[in-house]
Structure 1
Amino acid sequence: MDNPDTSIILKGMENDLIIVGGGLNGPALALAAAKAGFSVTIIDTLPEDTRKERDFDGRSYALALTSMRLLRKIGVWDAIVDSAQPMLEIKVSDGRAGEGPSPWMMHFDHAEIEEGPMGYMVEDRYLRHAFLDAMADQPLITQLSGETVVGQNVTAAGVDVTLASGKHVAGRVLVGSDGRRSGTAERAGIKRTAWGYDQTAIVCAVAHAKPHNGIAHQFFMPGGPLAILPLTGNRSSIVWSETTERAAAIMAADDAGFLDALRPAFGDFLGDISLVGQRFTYPLGLSLADRFIADRIALVGDAAHGVHPIAGQGLNAGLRDVAALAQVLTEARARGEDIGGAQPLSRYQQWRRFDTATLAVATDTFNKLFSNDNPLLRTARDIGMGLINKAPALRRSFIREAAGLTGELPKLMKN
């Protein structure tokens, strides 16, 4: 309740979860937890009006099939399904900009698995708004926008969070969903293993003359991979990894100069292209928290692990964290355990840390293997892609991995 003397809000123990970070993983966890009957307060630094903006800015996400299942079960998918573009095929090739791809390639078709499309491309504006609307309709969720966490205090009974406004929020479990520079993790004394790649990702969207037919392309070049991911209509999302120096030069150009730099790598298979929305950049690196938990604290998404976008699995890994943590907490409550106790949180860490460490190693290895112009490595990887493409069992395993169907699936990600 409000305290007019001290301007402090004490939410008391009716908060089962306090979630710091209102991007994508935080709202997903809030909805999953509320669906299970937990009370949640979610705190985000951005004002509500900013988070509700509907203008297209070029940002989009590749959602694996299992991530779609999670969104469906927490009541978000129906709001975005009409704006989601199924990914029916993935084509992976190697080469140099302006020279076209190598004849050796990998081609993955969703028809080789029974479950349906491998994934979906969804624009940021639709996904964020769907989360906000779903949370607004959920009485067990309290949203605090435009608030910054400046302190956290853990006791045997719970955790108390201090906001820059002077307010306090108390609960049983604190979840950090606040990115690679997680203040939640830092305040808990959780360190990180991290390094950069001297690469920068350029993110934007383009319109093109010809239809993409639901095909995603990954073109490996010496400076880094170029992902061309299908959006609804004759549009595609671009994630272009380049050396940091060259990326800065490309971004310094006007829109016409930017497209002139992109076209040799993009090719002409989709006809003429034009820029849609804004251009963004972010530095690429690997970041892995040494622990995913502390006393009454759990980390999800980029707060726990940040990987290279080479496989498009960053958000999907975070959503798997969400599904796993929601399941662990629900099962702990059913056993009569303290949901913020050491045993439930240890089970979450055991479930997720090995998988995310494996993903980090895999993306790191792939980036080092493909982001170079070494002729011996180029020959080896091209032959390797050709062999995989000719082996149905291997091809199918890659398709299932892309769809998120491998490993121990949380219940929210099962059909």
Structure 2
Amino acid sequence: MLEAMGTVPEIEIVRHDGCSPVLDSYSAVDAMSNKEDLLSLNPTLFGSIPNEVGSYLAWTVENLEGSKWNRFALQTSEDVESLGFSIYARWEGDEFVSVLAQTGQLMHDRERSAWAMPIGIAGFTQFRYVIDTIASAAPSINAVVFQYCKPSGSGTCPGIGNYPSVGEGEISPAKCAEGFRGYAYRECHDGVLGDVKNDKCEYKLPEKLAYENSNMEFVMNTQVSSGRASYKNIITRFFMQESTPLPEGLMLNEQTGEITGKPIALLNTKMFTVRAENPAGETYVAITISVRKGYCQPEGVFERTDVGEIAVYQCALQGSYVGTQKRACVLGEKDGVWEKASGFCMPVLAIVLIVVVVIVIIVVVVFLLIRTRSKKAVGGVKGKTVKTVAAKKTATKTVKV
């Protein structure tokens, strides 16, 4: 049950005897009983919380800087014995931490009972008052009062950064570092705040573990990466679930959650579980990994081709062409890459023209050769005199038989 309250100024301080009530406006109030008058600070009205273990009053302040007070008080209108209660506080999105716990408390009629709560000055935005033990009766509460008591005296420690000024022996609280819940604090001694102590800071559970792409496809024998994991809060270690170790050649970075390496075997799509932890607990994310052989994307006349193979293109597929073209697909940095193509496609018409031209050239050459020889045979050699040799008479001898 939630209810927005009125428009009281966010934080208004009315000073009285060194301690002043802090007036907040509330974005939500929740209780197990009639709650409207519990936070009104009007002593003429009263409300009550059931006298049962676990009964509560919860409220959220509107001020984004939180509510800062260091003393909690109850104004009651009857005597009550053995009251036990706790107050829990948190910043939005965090878990509640205990900031005050009391048992066996005695409440008096028409009196205000107050308890120091130095941690309340940290500036929490959400609070929860819870009954821990059953009292002699349910207290009739005129007002729940939050007070700020200003530190005074020679032992007062000046504030440092987010750590406010406090009195001697008190603690100065502030919000824990990102990824932790609770509060850090410095102790005031001899007028000086000491070193920051974080023993009240606890790890928040790791949450929202994820990868940019949870379905990972890797190429065999190439250097691959999943990218760093994203998550909320703090993770101290990443690790693989024992039942789903990574494929051979891959490894998980324990600090970043990044999966890297060079896979050496083909793998069909398989599910793996990456886990992450910190001292508060652990979380996990399911991913899938597949390892394939590299290939070259279709380009021009060449179809998709696996790494290590040669694509052959028959030019006749284009129509009136002859010849072949070949192109090898080799493994690149991330996948297959094409090498330069060899061979070419020749149009049939071009071949016919070339043949015709060659024939014409041959005919012309033969014609010129024949013509040249004919001229030599008819005209002889110009410029030379040819001597004529007279034929000798051959003597004929008659042989008588």
TM-score class normalised by the smaller sequence: under 0.3
- Richer in helix (by share): 1
Structure with the greater alpha carbon radius of gyration = 2
- Richer in strand (by share): 2
Q: TM-score, normalised by structure 2?
A: 0.19
Greater RCO between the two (CA within 8 Å, min separation 6)? 1
